[in-house]
């Protein structure tokens, strides 16, 4: 799920994402976007929300690619895993939560 939102807060992006309970997970080698994850169960890596984020400092626009990783890859050496990318209730709710929190920040 892709969406953009205006960042009108004074917070740096990493601090803003931390306030949303997302943890920095590095930079994507593929496209240079920042990655953030938020797990749903304590102590486990899955299920989790996974964000690829690009920030335009001039326009203060945050572009977010959000998906939901349901479980880790099943086959060793692959990156494929069970995930939701579009049109799901869980993604819609999380996207709305993110938008609401960023607007309040």
Which residue did the predictor score with more confidence, 67 or 42?
A: 67
Question: Which residues fall within 8 angstroms of residue 98, CB to CB, at 6 or more apart?
Answer: 5, 20, 64, 66
3-class secondary structure, 17:
helix
Q: Say what the pLDDT of residue 77 is.
A: 55
Q: What are the residues facing 5 on neighbouring strands?
A: 62
Output the pTM of the full model. Answer: 0.84
Q: Say what the pLDDT of residue 46 is.
A: 86
User: Span 7-20, mean pLDDT?
Assistant: 93
3-class secondary structure, 104:
helix
Q: What are the residues facing 52 on neighbouring strands?
A: 35, 65
Q: For residue range 53-70, what is the model confidence (pLDDT) as tens digits?
A: 999 999 999 999 999 988
Domain ranges of the chain: 2-48+55-104
pLDDT at 86 over 90: no
State the Cα–Cα distance between residues 1 and 64, nearest whole angstrom: 8
- Give the CA count within 13 Å in the CB-facing half-sphere of 79: 0
User: Span 71-86, mean pLDDT?
Assistant: 63
């Amino acid at each position: 799920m892709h969406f953009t939102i205006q960042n009108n807060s004074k917070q740096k992006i990493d601090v803003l994402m931390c306030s949303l309970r997302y943890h920095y997970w590095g930079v994507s080698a593929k496209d240079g976007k920042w990655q953030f994850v938020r797990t749903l169960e304590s102590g486990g890596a899955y299920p989790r929300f996974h964000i690829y984020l690009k920030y335009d400092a001039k326009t203060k626009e945050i572009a977010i690619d959000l998906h939901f990783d349901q479980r880790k890859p099943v086959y060793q050496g692959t990156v494929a895993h069970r995930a939701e990318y579009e049109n799901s209730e869980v993604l819609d709710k999380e996207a709305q939560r993110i938008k609401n929190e960023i607007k309040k920040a």
